[in-house]
Chain A
Amino acid sequence: MLDLETRDRAASPERARIVEALIEIAAERGYVETTVEMILDRAGLDRSAFDRHFRGKYDCFLSAWQEINEDCMRKMLEAYNSQEDWPDRLRAVAHEIIEGLRHDPSRASFAVEVLAAGDAARARRDMTMRVIASLVDAGRNEMEDSEAVPHTTAEALAGAAYGQIYAKVVRGEADELPALIPQLMSAAVMPYLGIEAALKELGRGSEQPARYRRDVAADSPDKPIDPATTPEGYPPELARLPPGRHGLPREFVVHNQRERLIAGLAESIAENGYSGTTIAHITRHAAVSRRTFYEHFSSKDECFVAAYDTVMAELRERVSAAFDDTDDWPHAVKGGIGAMLHFLAAEPHLARLCMVEALVAGPVVVERYDAAIQSFVPYFREGREGRSPEVLSRLSPTTEEALVGGMVSLISRRIIAGRAEELEELLPDLVEFTLTPYLGSAEAAEIAQED
């Protein structure tokens, strides 16, 4: 979890200069040849400046990569939310990514070079890829039978798009990227909407959907405009709000109102989605006044962040209690996953809020979402203890992150499909999936099937 200090350092202009210099040099020379001296030379700073912000070259690369990914995720989600229809949403995301690569060749080259930094860089990329896959997978909501398409399809489409874009960037053919858009869009739409829709996407060429629904909404007379939901309403201090603040003890009544507001937010999100939710919706569901809302939160986003933190804290607590309840690691994992599914199934609104809307809500929670994923990694990592060299050799340094990511994406797909209540049915599959790398498939399946 990012703390206040990290955020302050992240905002430092000195640090930003180092990162910019790093990106330029790495794009020119590659990961191996880039040295801290070159970076400092370009940035016009001395070694002590570097040491204030980074532990070394590797740390500097990964920090820059982390920021690029967060920024990319933020922009993608904004683009996604700027449109109404799912194909337009995807198209906006494709444009966002491709225009970003074309207009910032250094960052594009950096995104290729950084992969040489090793598994951690790749894992970070894969997390972004999973978010892209979940945006593609939202296509199943457009279908009569939302389970009609295999769950690997979205992942495959996103990965194939990555491979094609990556190849063009490496070859310095970024100008040919827009021509890929109709091709990629057509292939992505086909499994969900059928061949006619796919050919229509092809016929649209690299046309760009109108940007930013927020602008459109502002002209629309039938939508109430709430200043706190417009982009101008995003309070700048929100980005620096330390996560722990919401856990501070407060007066009971105040605390209680907060919880009512949070529950109200979760209910309105379940009804209208995050972007369709207004403060009026929240106060109606919570049965409190608008004034009370503003006594607790300065905007819808701040309320969302509080809600997210509260739900995640509860979830973490339950998982941790269930995990600690059993000494035997595989059964502890089963207990932890079971507790997670039980909580999410019992609270479908909260489940939707923290597993799905968190990705669509955009800027405010993306990094919290990442941090939440990381917080589950240690439970799995314990599984390495005492394993044979043969087992350890089939694990990569990022196996645990990939397992958490895979698990989260299976869970969120159920929730997106409106089937949170059935989440507990996933238990045997998830247990088998997560234990297999450590125990082998036979033993994992056996534990998964036990009552």
Chain B
Amino acid sequence: MLRSRRWCKISIVDALALHRFHFAFTVTYHYLFPQLTMGLALLIVVLKTMGLRTGEDAYHRSARFWARIFAVNFAVGVVTGIPMEFQFGTNWAPFSKAAGGVIGQTLAMEGVFSFFLESTFLGLFLFGERRLGPKGHWWAAFMVFLGSWLSGFFIIATNAWMQHPVGYVIAANGQIALSSFRALMLNPWTLWEYLHNMAGSVVTASFVMASVGAFYLLGGKHKPYARIFVRLGVTAGLVASLLLPLPTGDGQGRNVARWQPATLAAMEGLFETVEGAPLAILGQPDVARKRLDNPLEVPRMLSFLTYQRWMAEVRGLDAFPEDQWPDNIPLLYYSYHIMVGLGTIFIAVMALSAWKLWRGRLFRCRPLLWILMLMLPFPYIANTAGWITAEVGRQPWVVHGLVRTAEGASYNVSAGNAMFTLIGFMGVYGVLSILFLFLVYREIEHGPEPSAPPEELEFAVKR
């Protein structure tokens, strides 16, 4: 009897862990693509605008080159995005049943308002350059940008509600029902999370563009285009990197301090409540002994950043019952610190590059071009780490304060079946990665110069 109860408990733990990893894996992989899509959509609009203003063909060709990469990236983003919506129902049925009446609103709005817009205008943008004319084509690019940024908004609004539920009532049957659509749309959590996320997305696209430009310059190829890429990448990258800490990251941090104080304590590795709390730059949290090993700290900084007073009291993890602590404090602590550390490096690299660019020396400064080229993976890592901070920070809740993650998983789907599909997704996404890298590398290798005669050009601009 005892044995069978024990076995039953273990299998539930296994199923929960698998459902969590299933979602974590598929969503982490998926978000590698939209973060480039959204930022690149903006940069393509900028390229199209400069093309219209200056009348220089190089800008239009640059836009076409990035549109080809955008198309491959978008296709993978679409096919890996569809499983996300379905997984709410398949792997998280009790959560969906409880909260679907609220988060279903924003998810359905994403489909209705942004996916139709995006898919319609992407077709026109990729095929219709000749038929639409320069102005019409600019509008098509703008609508693709609008659609992708709207899509980001609805997803962030959904996530913001899970982080900080507003505008709901709990119905008699235990389901969470919407009580104010206005409150759902104007959730104070949405604003900073959205702006922070979009700044991160522009950082990814800027670094990718600058990186490809630096790659061409170092190899002595496609120089006129490479200069456009580096100039735009560095300029947009500097602005977006600067927006990451202030005001967006700061606003997001204050929301966490106000509504998820236990999460803030865990992110900062603060185990004890103190006045004048220090900011940990480095150090390893030891959850069993409730302390931070080898800390490198800035005294009183955390108090100041959180409350703008050097001696303000910041609640540590000891102020909260352990069953409300995030369940993976080290992961939360490290992902947050990786995000912040990389963000600081982004500002430094972009500021230095922008200064050299302004002095007209960047294109000859090979060490800096090498750095710009090699920076390519880091915005992806920083964006991923940021999302891990948000999602692991919300634990042990799936809807903060309302539904625990352990209550939200589909236990009618066994651990064995969840593992089967997890392995399946790993295989499918592994193949997709190879294809994606292969096709994008071919585009980069081919470069922005049209290889076909002009009348064949649109043939090459395919999605």
Chains A and B are bound partners: no
